[in-house]
Structure 1
């Protein structure tokens, strides 16, 4: 009788694995599949996008595991940061991100922007305050003035806002793989787990491309 019970349990376990496709992470449970995939910037690369906000404490702490993970990505993977914005102050912070990028000082300003908002509790809710932070970190004020409200930066801010809406972002940080799969800490089980799910989806996308 015990053997029959054990055998039945084994069959049920195997059936469950078959139903899940034998995959470690499941759509709708560990990540969400977007109803309408969002076009990526480079079709030759598997794109991973982080939707973030400099004022988000969770995003600030996510930088610690994220940075080495990004450094270890394979050549066929492109990592992109995309600022979220739900109000005017967040839009200013998104503009600060793209201004830093346009000036070639994105890496130089990344941590100071996070620390200003999360450690020193500055609001950075005006262009003048953001300019002062840039200048304090070695950026020429005239160059800042030239790019902060430029056509190029404004266009990138609008695109980031539209992208976040298409991703149906519910919070920050969230990762989107290949414009198809959205990963949150809530679904994945934590921030380190977000990166594990992203690894799984990168491999999934890589296998799909190889099969084409």
Structure 2
């Protein structure tokens, strides 16, 4: 059975989601900057104290193509406790574009291919939206710095890919994703916004609200009274 994940809106963030009982974010308003996700969990386990900022995207989505350079630049401005991770939208086990992203991860070619795939689909027309793995592999092999054999091997490695495809699909499902691009912070907060800029601004507010609390500095001992001279 072919799994289906709907990508039908630019900003699903205006849609209502069920809230779970958890503390509200200080200084923010639920329903304005974010919506809480019932039972939400991060996509991947990060080191303790780190906050995951997950972008669910699709290479075939023109909005994601426009958003890609913006979130890439924005990610570089995040505080040390936050990290952006990309989550490809998954339409099924044989989704060629989701496989392409995970092949990039496996071969450490995201800097070379992530933006290049968007350009090839939406600007140059070198790749069709319904490209198969063979077409994608041929294109990737022409990109300078990409090891074609290694990329194509990763692109067709079912043993490694199927668990990743399943994990990405399940994350989008439990997060209530209905459109791309979508941003989920810490697995629990769906970011709202009516523009690319407001989406990123609100994501930053949530990231800041989840910053680790600094331990209060210990009080300095009171100075001993000066000894009286006889």
TM-score (norm 2): 0.73
Contact 1:48 1:80 in 2 (8 A): yes
Closer, same or farther: CA 33–126 of 1 in aligned 2, 3 Å: same
Number of residues of Structure 1 aligned to a counterpart in Structure 2: 186
Q: 1:132 aligns with which of 132, 138, 153?
A: 138
Closer, same or farther: CA 69–27 of 1 in aligned 2, 3 Å: same
User: 1:64, CA displacement in angstroms?
Assistant: 2.8
Contact 2:52 2:85 in 1 (8 A): yes
Q: Does 1:206 align with 2:206?
A: no
Q: Aligned residue for 1:159?
A: 167
User: 1:94, CA displacement in angstroms?
Assistant: 0.8
Q: Aligned residue for 2:46?
A: 42
Q: Aligned residue for 2:14?
A: none
Q: Which runs of no fewer than 5 residues in structure 1 stay unpaired?
A: 1-19
Closer, same or farther: CA 107–174 of 1 in aligned 2, 3 Å: same
Q: 1:115 aligns with which of 95, 112, 119?
A: 119
DSSP 3-state at the match of 1:188: coil
DSSP 3-state at the match of 2:67: helix
DSSP 3-state at the match of 1:42: coil
Contact 2:93 2:162 in 1 (8 A): no
* Dislocated runs of 4+, deviation >3 Å: 20-23, 86-89
Q: Aligned residue for 1:181?
A: 189
User: 1:88, CA displacement in angstroms?
Assistant: 6.9
Q: 1:29 aligns with which of 17, 32, 42?
A: 32
User: 1:72, CA displacement in angstroms?
Assistant: 1.3
User: 1:87, CA displacement in angstroms?
Assistant: 5.6
Q: Does 1:82 align with 2:82?
A: no
Contact 1:34 1:182 in 2 (8 A): yes
User: 1:101, CA displacement in angstroms?
Assistant: 1.2
Q: Which runs of no fewer than 5 residues in structure 2 stay unpaired?
A: 1-23, 216-230
CA radius of gyration, larger in: 2
Separation of aligned partners in 1, 2:194 and 2:31: 13
Cα distance per residue 1:96-126 (max 9 Å; x no partner): 0010111111110012210122123422421
Separation of aligned partners in 2, 1:143 and 1:102: 9
Separation of aligned partners in 1, 2:26 and 2:153: 54
User: 1:32, CA displacement in angstroms?
Assistant: 1.3
DSSP 3-state at the match of 1:29: coil
Higher percent of residues as helix: 1
User: RCO higher in 1 or 2 (8 Å CA, sep ≥ 6)?
Assistant: 2
